[in-house]
Chains A and B, each alone.
Chain A
Amino acid sequence: MTQMTGAKMVVQALRDQGVEVIFGYPGGAVLPIYDELFMQSEIQHILVRHEQGAVHMAEGYARSTGKPGVVLVTSGPGATNAVTGITDALMDSIPLVVLTGQVPTFMVGNDAFQEADTVGITRPCTKHNWLVKETDKLADTIHQAFHVATTGRPGPVLIDIPKDVQFATGTYVEPRAARTGHYQPRVKGDREVITRLVEAIETAERPIFYTGGGVINSGDAATQLLREMVDATGFPITSTLMGLGAYPASGKNWLGMLGMHGLYEANLAMHDCDLMINIGARFDDRITGRVADFSPNSRKAHIDIDPSSINKTIRVDMPIIGDVAHVLEDALRIWKSRGRKVNKEGLARWWAQIEEWRKVECLRYKGSDKIIKPQYALERLEALTKHRADRYICTEVGQHQMWAAQFLGFEAPNRWMTSGGLGTMGYGLPASIGVQVAHPDALVINVAGEGSWLMNMQEMGTAIQYRLPVKQFILNNERLGMVRQWQSLLHGNRYSHSWSEALPDFVKLAEAFGAKGIKCADPADLDDAIAEMLAHDGPVIFDCLVEKHENCYPMIPSGEPHNRMLLGEDSGEDAIKAGGAVLV
């Protein structure tokens, strides 16, 4: 029974949870905790420039390590600034523990200076949150928070700690003594349904694996089992934006990403399959297109640890609630024990059909020797970096993000950090810093658009302060490219407020921060410029001036099914019909 102050308890609990680094910003309501941080050296604190940046850094840290990210911010504006990042983590199921200071308990509700109803504001954007009113409950709550953030479907949790609770003395409890209560999500899938899935695998003529971020969240075992299953069955596999890397892009069964800007062969295979095996994906609207016409002739299995994901938008025939690794292990064992059967003839025909679709070469684009095409920039970046096993890619949100997903190949999980569900512009720069903190010697590249990048550019200061050699690869089209693309498809080329007339000189900006700036506008110079970026031992802002009016294809227009994809050469004029125009 160790007695200590609440502030000391916070640091002790983080240490006992194995936390090595936290991302934060001090303020009045967290000063006692910062004082405790000052007096120790086990936990590294990364001082950010804006609280949103802290949360995205913690997300980058979490996604690239599989460990929870930890954030420490003050009350009021500190907490409200963190809300976007927390919501982002909720949508993408990223485990975070966010600690916020709060005004002292006796002032809560008085509209005190820097007071906000933090638990009220963050209730809908956390997996769970707590306001701790007694120091005796603080350690127990922190341990519970780590348990909730990391078990089941991961997500962000928040603990609001009033300042008087930080000063008062209470009893510390260790993690194993903490009440993790009734929150014990089920991890084993229903054997009967898994057996039905195996039977379906044995007979399917046109099967497809459709995988998502759940495979990566489940851990390395899930990735290994998935690869074994795909290779053993010979089935084609596609993945959502969130799931890239679980199956290697160089794998022979890989179809590429699916969805709104997914590959033609992946989307057509989804539409025409007779057995869809959804592993850790959630039938997001970027994936399904028009729900009524989604893969009309398939039987569907859905493996998900979150029961509310099952039958939410697409009704499935084989719902399996459980952890991906556990379910795949059972499925593989049952399939092997029944003689490893697949429908070889059907599969051969199916692959022949897929090869036909591949001939469309949906990622084809018109090259240029005068101006850098964004696709070309990414092809060169891929060619010059793909040999590095320690390459981590982050992105901002927009066209560049979709091109990065299309043109970069991921061989391992936890190498690709992008804002999927929430689509948060300003995610990539801080996320890349979080990744670099976790992997100091790795090559961390943020593929960015200039619009998104400017949203959190203050975090370059953080990169400089901690000597984090993040590479900011900005595809600069002086436009909000995805907005411009939709305005061209949907609003008669009226480019309302989708460009900036006052962009900074990124090279000078880099120098002002103390980083290296590189500018490249000529395709002939691109390889040398990228090599220069890679060779520099420090943060780089790479201003890659690209074609200003390039659209991102292929594309499933809003409100259309998978088999109505637009390819690059299609006219954009009436691509989106009235019914689809209301969709985003």
Chain B
Amino acid sequence: MAAALNIQKGTSKHSAYDLRDPNAEAIERHTLAVIVDNEAGVLARVIGLFSGRGYNIDSLTVAEVDHHGHTSRITIVTTGTPAVIEQIKAQLGRIVPVHEVHDLTVEGPSVERELALFKVTGGGEKRVEALRLADIFRANVVDSTLESFVFEITGTPQKVDAFAELMRPLGLVEMARTGIAALSRGSAGAP
């Protein structure tokens, strides 16, 4: 049941308190939002920290979010035991141009979205079926030739995965994914 609802084992995603067992050995998946000064080398510092200390990166996105204040938001999806996740957050916090580190997985409910582009080639019934499935998934056609479509789809990583699986037998030849962007739900905003 928990798996179907996509609730990570051992997390307290729906509680204001972090009730996880710090000694647990279970691997957890966490989404971190890191607010940084948009300066040369800052992404290298973050990536270097993960590779140098042997942490995992499942997904990483980065873009400037405040042009006036020169700050960027790095969204990192990482996995590890609770102790490792705590260490990752503390190590990120030590980087001088890092302003804030938010663990969206424990700070409350959050939304995650990913954008992907799929190139599907083929003709006949497969081409019709691809278009029909794209409609069901609310994917947009952003480029079209007589033998191909480029679909744009936005959604949770699971939705993007599901769409990719369906497109594969229908002539999927190339795909590009942005990685995850995530925000906490509700009215409170981090800077």
Q: Which residues of A contact B (CB under 8 A)?
A: 119-120, 123-124, 127-128, 131, 148, 181-183, 306-308, 310-312, 315
Contacts and interface: CB of A to CB of B under 8 A. Distances in A.
25 contacts: A120-B44, A123-B41, A123-B45, A123-B48, A124-B52, A127-B96, A128-B95, A128-B97, A131-B40, A148-B96, A182-B99, A183-B96, A306-B94, A307-B90, A307-B93, A308-B90, A308-B91, A308-B94, A310-B90, A311-B83, A311-B86, A311-B87, A312-B87, A315-B22, A315-B83
A123 B22 CA distance: 31
B86 A123 contact: no
Interface of B: 22-23, 37, 40-41, 44-45, 48, 52, 83, 86-87, 90-91, 93-97, 99
Query: Of residues B22, B52, B96, which shows the largest number of chain A Cβ atoms within 10 Å of its Cβ?
Result: B96
Contacts of A183: 96
A417 B86 CA distance: 33
Contacts of B93: 307-308
Contacts of B90: 307-308, 310, 312
Query: Of residues B22, B37, B40, B94, which shows the largest number of chain A Cβ atoms within 10 Å of its Cβ?
Result: B94
B44 to A, nearest CB: 6
Contacts of A148: 96
Contacts of A120: 41, 44
Given A308-B87, A311-B22, A311-B83, A119 B94 contact: no
A339 to B, nearest CB: 34
Nearest to B35: A182
Contacts of A119: 41
A462 B176 CA distance: 59
Main secondary structure of the interface of B (DSSP, over half): helix
Contacts of B83: 311, 315
A314 to B, nearest CB: 11
Query: Of residues A119, A182, A183, A310, which shows the largest number of chain B Cβ atoms within 10 Å of its Cβ?
Result: A182
Contacts of B97: 128
A315 B87 CA distance: 12
Contacts, number: 38
Contacts of A312: 87, 90
A128 B36 CA distance: 14
A181 B96 CA distance: 10
A183 B99 CA distance: 8
A67 to B, nearest CB: 21
A89 B90 CA distance: 21
Nearest to A126: B96
Contacts of B40: 131
B101 to A, nearest CB: 10
Given A148-B96, A310-B90, A311-B86, A124 B41 contact: no
Nearest to A309: B90
Contact of B48 (A124, A127, A182, A308): A124
Nearest to B95: A128
Contacts of A310: 90
A148 B52 CA distance: 22
Contacts of A124: 48, 52
A241 B97 CA distance: 32
A542 to B, nearest CB: 41
Contacts of B52: 124
Query: Of residues A124, A306, A315, which shows the largest number of chain B Cβ atoms within 10 Å of its Cβ?
Result: A124
B121 to A, nearest CB: 39
Name the 4 nearest CB pairs between A and B, nearest first: A308-B90, A128-B96, A307-B90, A308-B91
A148 B41 CA distance: 17
Contacts of A128: 95-97
A131 B42 CA distance: 12
A307 B44 CA distance: 22
B43 to A, nearest CB: 11
B39 to A, nearest CB: 9
Nearest to A312: B87
Contacts of B91: 308
A119 B44 CA distance: 11
Contacts of B23: 315
A119 B45 CA distance: 11
A487 B91 CA distance: 36
Given A131-B41, A308-B94, A311-B83, 11 more contacts: A119-B41, A120-B44, A123-B41, A128-B96, A131-B40, A307-B94, A308-B90, A312-B90, A315-B22, A315-B23, A315-B83
